[in-house]
């Protein structure tokens, strides 16, 4: 599966899509109300098919609702049902049931097999209207779904999901490496090829901070507050785009260089405690998602070692384990074999050693299948 994101050209016609999104939100809220009412009357979950039938009937008499294609209406009912199932299964873990959403918070509608058609010259027909989008790349594979999405700036995007699987032929290098995440050095690599955190990450954080402070200082419901909100959204978007750009490039660089890549399972809460600030800013987990995606395409393996393994405190040459190693200590000498260690590099080497020794057989066969394919 592959997802494409395209921006729609600004056009007066787009107001129809905005209205469709609003109407979809209206249907969504109506479905939620029906669910709630049904439950309070019968003490039971409203069946998905009954709900769809009922909504379809109402829709026949409701012109506003007809702005949303029947496919998209089904999608709404299915989505709510999935959210309820999740709630029934995991409510003890704090999962909340789906609830009403304000119009401004309602952002999209999704079309499956019908209700749209891709035409030549970056044109897309939705319902009986034709919209133009900024076609940044060719769509490959069979289209599974088309989602129209509105961002907080009121701009419209289409998300196209296809069944295309793109296996990239990359030569195997025979190399493996362990990696340790950090703040200043984004990744310390077991073979010494460390990846520094780019300066722009730090700079953009500063800019974000300024923009959000500016926003919070403005008077509620004022024009200047709306302006500041838009600015904040823009800065946010820019930061996210730039960072994700960098992540994609890095993911390609690493998967070109190594066949097996080992990491520690992330313990974000623990890291936050240790470093006493929001490390979500550095988005390690976002990077790992991208890396796994790229690795899979290239037939490379990303594997994780247990986070309870003391990767920093264990001597990578003799396995001696220190009782304690404070965060401030960047270098240490092993009391057993007197080997000198840089803290992070030693950890990365250990991650590689443990990872390579515990790699599951299934992972290896996946790799060799990819090599022979
Ligand atoms: Zn040692």
339 Cα: distance to centroid of ligand 1 (angstroms): 5
319 Cα: distance to centroid of ligand 1 (angstroms): 6
333 Cα: distance to centroid of ligand 1 (angstroms): 8
Strands (E), the chain: 2-8, 108-111, 116-119, 123-126, 129-134, 143-150, 156-162, 176-181, 185-189, 195-196, 260-264, 301-305, 331-333, 340-342
How do the pLDDT tens digits run along the chain, 373 residues long? 778 899 999 899 999 999 999 999 999 999 999 999 999 999 889 999 999 999 999 999 999 999 888 888 988 999 899 989 888 888 887 778 889 988 767 788 888 888 899 998 899 999 889 999 998 888 888 998 999 999 888 899 999 998 887 666 667 888 999 999 887 788 999 999 999 888 777 787 788 888 989 999 998 888 999 999 999 989 888 888 888 899 999 999 999 999 999 998 876 656 655 555 554 555 788 899 899 999 988 889 999 887 778 899 999 999 999 999 988 889 999 999 999 999 999 999 999 988 888 765 445 544 444 444 4
Q: For residue 205, what pLDDT is reported?
A: 75
336 Cα: distance to centroid of ligand 1 (angstroms): 5
Check: pTM over 0.75? Answer yes or no. Answer: no
What gap in Å lies between CA 199 and CA 28, rounded to an integer?
43
318 Cα: distance to centroid of ligand 1 (angstroms): 4
272 Cα: distance to centroid of ligand 1 (angstroms): 30
324 Cα: distance to centroid of ligand 1 (angstroms): 15
What gap in Å lies between CA 245 and CA 346, rounded to an integer?
29
What gap in Å lies between CA 166 and CA 178, rounded to an integer?
27
Query: Which residues, by Cβ under 5 Å, contact ligand 1, an ion?
Result: 315, 317-318, 320, 334, 336-337, 339
357 Cα: distance to centroid of ligand 1 (angstroms): 19
């Amino acid at each position: 599966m592959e997802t494409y994101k395209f921006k729609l050209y600004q056009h007066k016609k787009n107001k129809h899509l905005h209205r469709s999104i609003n109407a979809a939100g209206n249907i969504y809220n109506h479905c939620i109300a029906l669910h709630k009412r049904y439950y309070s009357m019968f003490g039971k979950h409203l069946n998905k098919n009954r709900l769809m039938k009922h909504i379809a009937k109402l829709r026949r008499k409701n012109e506003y609702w007809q702005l949303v294609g029947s496919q998209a209406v089904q999608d709404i009912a299915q989505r709510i049902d999935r959210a309820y199932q999740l709630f029934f299964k995991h409510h003890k873990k704090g999962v909340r049931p789906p609830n009403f959403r304000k119009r401004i918070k309602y952002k999209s509608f999704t079309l499956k097999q019908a209700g749209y058609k891709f035409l030549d010259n970056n044109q897309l027909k939705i319902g009986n209207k034709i919209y133009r989008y900024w076609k940044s790349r060719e769509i490959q594979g069979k289209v599974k779904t088309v989602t129209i999405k509105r961002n907080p700036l009121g701009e419209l995007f289409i998300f196209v999901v296809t069944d295309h699987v793109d296996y990239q032929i990359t030569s195997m290098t025979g190399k493996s490496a362990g990696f340790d995440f950090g703040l200043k050095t984004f990744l310390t690599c077991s073979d010494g090829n460390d990846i520094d955190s780019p300066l722009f990450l730090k700079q953009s954080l500063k800019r974000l901070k300024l923009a959000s402070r500016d926003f919070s200082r403005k008077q509620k419901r004022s024009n200047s507050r709306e302006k500041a909100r838009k600015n904040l959204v823009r800065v946010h978007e820019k930061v996210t785009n730039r960072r994700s750009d960098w992540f994609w490039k890095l993911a390609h660089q690493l998967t070109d260089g190594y066949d097996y890549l080992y990491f520690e399972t992330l313990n974000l809460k623990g890291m936050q405690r240790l470093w006493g600030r929001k490390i979500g800013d550095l988005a390690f987990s976002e990077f790992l998602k991208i890396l796994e995606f790229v690795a899979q395409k290239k037939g490379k393996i990303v594997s994780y070692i247990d986070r309870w393994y003391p990767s920093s405190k264990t001597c990578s040459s003799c396995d001696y384990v220190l009782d304690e190693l404070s965060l401030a200590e960047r270098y240490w000498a092993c009391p057993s074999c007197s080997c000198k260690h840089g803290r992070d590099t030693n950890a990365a080497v250990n991650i590689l050693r443990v990872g390579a020794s515990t790699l599951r057989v299934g992972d290896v066969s996946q790799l060799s299948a990819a090599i022979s394919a």
